[in-house]
Amino acid sequence: MRILLIEDDLMLGESMVASLSRRGYTVDWLQQGQGVELTLKTEDFLAVILDLTLPDIDGLQVLRQIRRAGHQLPVMILTARDGIDDRVKGLDGGADDYLVKPFALEELLARLRVMIRRLSGSSETEIQLGELTLSLLNNDVCFRGEPVKLTRNEFKILSTLVAQAGRVMSKDKLQQALHGWDDTASDNAIEVHIHNIRKKLGSPVIKNIRGVGYIIENR
């Protein structure tokens, strides 16, 4: 549930970070195009929200850099450019979606859910993995048909592992997914949250690969 926001408008950026955070996303925010490629090379995100009018590099150039580097994560363009030619260039340039400013928050959230569903290979608002079901619409969790009440942070960790099913996620990667670039978080937080999730599910859905990290098998 970690999103990279690339937006130079301070008021809009602050509003988006606050709004998305309240909806369970972890948002890291860059205000210019420089550094995007390095950030994506060294850190994991589920999706990118990209403004086209940046102070240093045109957003379409940033998009081309992302795709040339081989990054397959979903990219949503968020811009005031509303011409048909602009939309075509953005989508043909590798964007997965194109949303024109001003926009409604609920529409942005819905479009994010669509991109994340595609990433997980699902066309539904729910992601099914074995006996585990996650709702992207209201952050609900069911295991073996029974509802499981998770805290916001526990849901973030579980949804990150589900989105990356079959891939081992290190504690550092999960820490980034949970807190982004906030370096004030406790180093023990991930272990505590994993312990609580396992206890609530009552089953070793999350496996510990000693010395490497945690995994939910893709089955």
Do both 205 and 132 map to the same domain? yes
Q: What is the pLDDT of residue 156?
A: 86
Q: What is the pLDDT of residue 75?
A: 94
Confidence tier at 32 by pLDDT (50, 70, 90): very high
Do both 115 and 163 map to the same domain? no
Do both 15 and 89 map to the same domain? yes
Query: CB of 12 within 8 A of CB of 187?
Result: no
Can you tell me the distance from the alpha carbon of 75 to that of 63, in angstroms, rounded to the nearest whole number?
8
Domain boundary among 120, 146, 175: 120
Calculate the average pLDDT of the chain.
87
Domain containing residue 132: CATH number:
1.10.10.10
Do both 71 and 146 map to the same domain? no
Place of tokens 């998770």: 150
Confidence tier at 106 by pLDDT (50, 70, 90): very high
Query: CB of 46 within 8 A of CB of 89?
Result: no
Can you tell me the distance from the alpha carbon of 40 to that of 65, in angstroms, rounded to the nearest whole number?
11
Do both 29 and 134 map to the same domain? no
Do both 95 and 143 map to the same domain? no
Q: What is the pLDDT of residue 166?
A: 86
**pLDDT by residue (tens digit) across 143-202?**
988 999 998 889 888 888 888 888 888 888 888 888 777 665 555 688 889 999 999 987
Q: What is the pLDDT of residue 140?
A: 87
The CA dihedral of 19, 125, 26, 151, to the nearest 10 degrees, is 90
Domain containing residue 20: CATH number:
3.40.50.2300
Range of the domain at 65: 2-120
Tokens for 43, please give them: 């850190």
Do both 33 and 68 map to the same domain? yes
Do both 83 and 138 map to the same domain? no
Helix, strand or coil for residue 76? strand
Number of domains in the chain: 2
Outline where DSSP puts E strands in the chain. 2-6, 26-30, 47-50, 75-79, 97-100, 126-129, 132-135, 141-143, 146-148, 207-209, 213-215
> Degrees (nearest 5) of the Cα angle 60, 20, 139?
120
- Confirm whether pTM is higher than 0.85: no
> Residues of the chain with pLDDT > 70: what percent?
93
Do both 39 and 137 map to the same domain? no
Can you tell me the distance from the alpha carbon of 86 to that of 81, in angstroms, rounded to the nearest whole number?
6
In this structure, what are the phi and psi dihedrals at residue 91, rounded to the nearest 5 degrees? -70, -40
Do both 68 and 152 map to the same domain? no
- Tell me: pLDDT of 99 over 90: yes
- Tell me: pLDDT of 118 over 90: no
Task: Respond yes or no on whether the N-terminal peptide bond of residue 55 is cis (omega within 30° of 0).
Answer: no
Domain boundary among 120, 151, 170: 120
Q: What is the pLDDT of residue 138?
A: 77
